Amino acid sequence: MHDATTEPLTIPASPAPAPAASPLGAIGPAADALTEVLRQGARSLLITAVEAEVSQWIDERVGLVDAKGRRQVVRNGHADPRTIVTGVGPLSVQMPRVHDRRPPETKERFTSALLPPYLRRAKAMDELIPYLYLLGVSTGDFPDALQALLGPDCPSLSAATVTRLVAGWQEEQQAWSRRDLKDKQYVYVWADGVYFNIRLAEPQDSRVCMLVLMGATADGTKELIAVEAGIRESEQSWTSMIVDLKHRGLVIDPKLAIADGALGFWAAMRKVWPTTREQRCWVHKTANVLDKMPKHLQPDAKDKLHQIWRAQTRKEAEKAFDVFIETYEAKHEGAVACLKKDRDALLTFYDFPSKHWTHIRTSNPIESTFATVRLRHDKTKGNGSKKACLAMVFKLAQTAQNSWRKLNGHELINDVIQGVKFVDGDKTLAA
């Protein structure tokens, strides 16, 4: 009878890589003592985890025997070695094989969830590549940069490989832009239009506006909702985006939208999401107001603007609002008019939980993300085409999404959904 005793997963020892000059200077080669300790620890963890996975799969079928009492699901040696690129360098692994002796119509094939077939890179590596791309590392420099981080024996990440990955982002973006949203609800949404230069386009098409929409779900998680190439920041472009979201299942209007006051987004939103309330971005508004004032007055004016949105109650904010108007209206009418026209929309946040104020007073969640995306464009002098630009913006924003933090006080979001009334950020008690 064939014995099904456990054979250890074998991971051949990797020779220590020779020192190499580092294109990143201070980073240095990865072949140091600490890195080798980490790699050995990774091997040990991988052995333990995969052995447990294989053993459990076989143990669940221990009762499957033939007429002679022989077990039908047993070990069958190891597959050929393959190299997995991980965050601590490449690991050469040999997966144990499992043999199912039953007839073809009943036999099963073991597939590891940890090391699925054809896996060559850990997920973290697929996130590292767009991150390096974001920092301005060109495709031709990727092999040197990755060897400095992962060691000179790092395979399968040539410039051609990276180019294929970048091309694959376009297909990924297209599939993502058609995904089903019927189970989604976004309580808050942030909108912005971000401009990028296109190198290989006619002069009239050399600057493209990416319309970006992100939202907060019912559990407080921030997500990227949509990224599209629009015609400037027009009402029609925003309407097209929001209507498409509704047709894909996003049928519940957000409770609040946050954006700059100059966008065509607002006209589109009022048509498609008529119940959504409006919050103007205080960062944009402050910049727009100060731009209409002489520089020597800007520090004092900025302080007075901060006193408005930092006030703990709407009444205090209204008082600070009036102080600004009375101080500057006589000589700086343009700046005061810019502030006054959005007075109500600038103070909407007082009707929502105070723990959410830091998130909903500005469109900073988008601004901070795309500051780094713009950095990539500055280093590369822009994308060659609109399609490539859209794919890059999508992938970099999606990668950045992994570091977005939940809303403070996310446990209060359900109260917002249920329509509980908040006054000066505090929940009111029913009479």
The count of domains in the chain is 2
User: Are residue 182 and residue 275 in the same domain, yes or no?
Assistant: yes
User: Are residue 237 and residue 133 in the same domain, yes or no?
Assistant: no
Which residues of the chain, if any, have pLDDT below 70? 1-48, 83-93, 113-163, 165-166, 198-206, 371-385, 430-431
What pLDDT shows up at residue 104?
83
User: Are residue 197 and residue 289 in the same domain, yes or no?
Assistant: yes
User: Which residue segment(s) compose the domain that 289 sits in?
Assistant: 176-422
Distances 420 to 253, 414, 417, 423 between C-alpha atoms, Å:
16, 9, 8, 10
User: Are residue 373 and residue 231 in the same domain, yes or no?
Assistant: yes
What pLDDT shows up at residue 26?
39
What pLDDT shows up at residue 363?
87
Q: How many CA atoms lie within 13 A of 212 on its CB side?
A: 32
Q: Is residue 5 part of a domain?
A: no
Q: Is residue 354 part of a domain?
A: yes
Q: Is residue 15 part of a domain?
A: no
- Pick the last residue of a domain from 150, 185, 214: 150
What pLDDT shows up at residue 105?
81
What pLDDT shows up at residue 7?
43
Q: Is residue 112 part of a domain?
A: yes
User: Are residue 47 and residue 92 in the same domain, yes or no?
Assistant: yes
Q: Is residue 3 part of a domain?
A: no
User: Are residue 211 and residue 321 in the same domain, yes or no?
Assistant: yes
What pLDDT shows up at residue 130?
60
What pLDDT shows up at residue 203?
56
Q: Is residue 156 part of a domain?
A: no
Distance CA 333, CA 338 (A): 9
Could you tell me if 289 and 298 are in contact, meaning their C-beta atoms sit under 8 angstroms apart? no
User: Are residue 260 and residue 224 in the same domain, yes or no?
Assistant: yes
User: Are residue 224 and residue 370 in the same domain, yes or no?
Assistant: yes
User: Are residue 349 and residue 312 in the same domain, yes or no?
Assistant: yes
Q: Is residue 49 part of a domain?
A: yes
User: Are residue 72 and residue 211 in the same domain, yes or no?
Assistant: no
Q: Is residue 101 part of a domain?
A: yes
User: Are residue 291 and residue 339 in the same domain, yes or no?
Assistant: yes
User: Are residue 217 and residue 348 in the same domain, yes or no?
Assistant: yes
